[in-house]
Amino acid sequence: MSARRFLALGDSYTIGEAVAESGRWPLQLVARLNAHGRAFDPPEIIATTGWTTDELAAAMDGKYPVGTRADFDLVSLLIGVNNQYRGRALDEYREQFVALLERALALAGDDPQRVIVLAIPDWGVTPFGAKSGRDTAQIARELDAFNAAAAEIAQARNVRFVDTSAVSRERGSAWVAEDGLHPSGALYAAWAEAAEIGLLGP
C-alpha cells in the first residue's frame, strides 16, 4: 500500500517561519499520524510568509488551477492573518475563503473528512504584537470574527475546524520563535496535537 498524501495550504504559520523544518506543524502532524500507523509521506506545502487569501489562490494556480481534482488523503487550510493585518474586509475574506475551501475539497477527492481548517492565531498576544502600537483588543476581535467565518464555512461543508485559538492565546506570548511573532516549535506541536485529535479523536 502506498503512503498517504498530505497537502498543506497557508501562509507563514504553515511554512513555519522562524522554526526548523522539523518544527513546522504539518511535519509534526505527519510524525504523530505515522506513529499511529497512518503512513503519510512528508507533506506537500503551498505556503509563504505574508500571503493573503487571494495570494494563496494565485500561487495554487501554478500547480493546481481552479477545477483541478486530486485524491490527497489530507488537505489542510490555514489562512487569513495577513488579510486582518492589512486591514482587509471580513466579507472579502469570507468570499475568498469559500473559494479556497472548495478547491481544497476538490483536491481531497470531494471528501470533507479529508480536509481540516485550522484557526488563525492571535498575533496580538506576541511580543511583536505588544510592541506594534496596534490595539491588541481590536486585533483579537477582528481575528475572532475571521475565525468565526472560517468555522461557519467549514462546518457548513462538514469539514473539521480545529480551534487552536485558545492555546495560541494562552501560550502565544511565551511559546514564540526568536522573531517574537511566529509560534515556536512547542506551540506548533500543540496545533499538531489538536489536528490529530480532530482527525482521529481523543
The x, y and z cell numbers of residue 53, run together, are 487569501
| pLDDT value for 105 | 98
pLDDT averaged per 10 residues in sequence order, the chain, 202 residues: 91 98 98 95 98 98 96 98 98 98 98 98 98 98 98 98 97 97 98 95 76
| pLDDT value for 201 | 80
Could you give the dihedral angle defined by the CA atoms of residues 115, 74, 101 and 121, in that order, rounded to the nearest 10 degrees?
A: 80
The x, y and z cell numbers of residue 177, run together, are 520563535
Domain architecture of the chain: domains with CATH: 6-197 (3.40.50.1110)
| pLDDT value for 187 | 98
The x, y and z cell numbers of residue 56, run together, are 494563496
| pLDDT value for 158 | 98
Q: What is the C-alpha R_g of the chain?
A: 16
Determine contact, residues 69/2, Cβ cutoff 8 Å.
Answer: no
Q: What pTM does this model have?
A: 0.97
Report how far Cα 86 is from the mean position of its chain's Cα atoms: 18
Distance CA 81, CA 62 (A): 23
Task: Give pairs for 129-136: CB < 8 Å, separation 24+.
Answer: 129/181, 130/173, 131/180
| pLDDT value for 133 | 97
Residues whose CB falls within 8 Å of the CB of residue 95, separated by 6 or more in sequence, listed in order: none
Cell 507563514 locates to: 12
| pLDDT value for 202 | 73
| pLDDT value for 1 | 57
Cell 500547480 locates to: 63
Determine contact, residues 147/163, Cβ cutoff 8 Å.
Answer: yes
Distance CA 195, CA 15 (A): 16
| pLDDT value for 2 | 77
Helix (H), strand (E), coil (C) string for 97-128: HHHHHHHHHHHECCCHHHEEEECCCCHHHCHH
Please provide residue 161's backbone torsions phi and psi, each rounded to the nearest 5 degrees. Answer: -105, 115
Distance CA 31, CA 21 (A): 13
| Rounded alpha-carbon distances, angstroms, from residue 184 to 18, 112, 157, 200 | 8, 29, 31, 24
Q: What is the pLDDT of residues 9-21, one digit of tens each?
A: 999 999 999 999 9
